[in-house]
Amino acid sequence: MAGVKDGRALERAGLFGSCSAVPNVTSDSGGWMACSSGRLSGYPDLSHDSCKLGGTRAKIVYWRCPAELVASRTDAARSP
């Protein structure tokens, strides 16, 4: 029940869009997030988190984000 309450189970089922960190190939601060669409919610909008839209390729939307956001989202993905 807790997994449904916080949305992780729905993300894994593909109903909500989700994002994951992409390795940074440049030496500048910040990072990239790759987001996929959910069947119910569409793509996540990271513009509210100070991210800039980077582009779209093969049904994946890329966002350029501050380093803190990338680190926090990556840590959240690792927790059970």
8 A C-beta contact, residue 59 and residue 39: no
Length of the chain: 80
Across residues 14-42, what is the average pLDDT?
82
Answer positive or negative: Cα dihedral of 37, 12, 70, 40.
positive
Residue 62: what pLDDT? 92
Average pLDDT, the chain: 76
- Rounded CA gap, 51 and 7, in Å? 22
- The answer to whether the predicted template modeling score (pTM) of the entire model surpasses 0.85 is no
Question: Over 60: is that where the pLDDT of 77 sits?
Answer: no
Give the residues across from 60 on adjacent strands. Answer: 36, 57
Tens of pLDDT, residue by residue over 29-64, are 778 899 999 888 889 999 998 899 989 999 999 999
Rg (C-alpha) for the chain, rounded Å, is 13
pLDDT category at 18 given cuts 50, 70, 90 is confident
pLDDT category at 3 given cuts 50, 70, 90 is very low
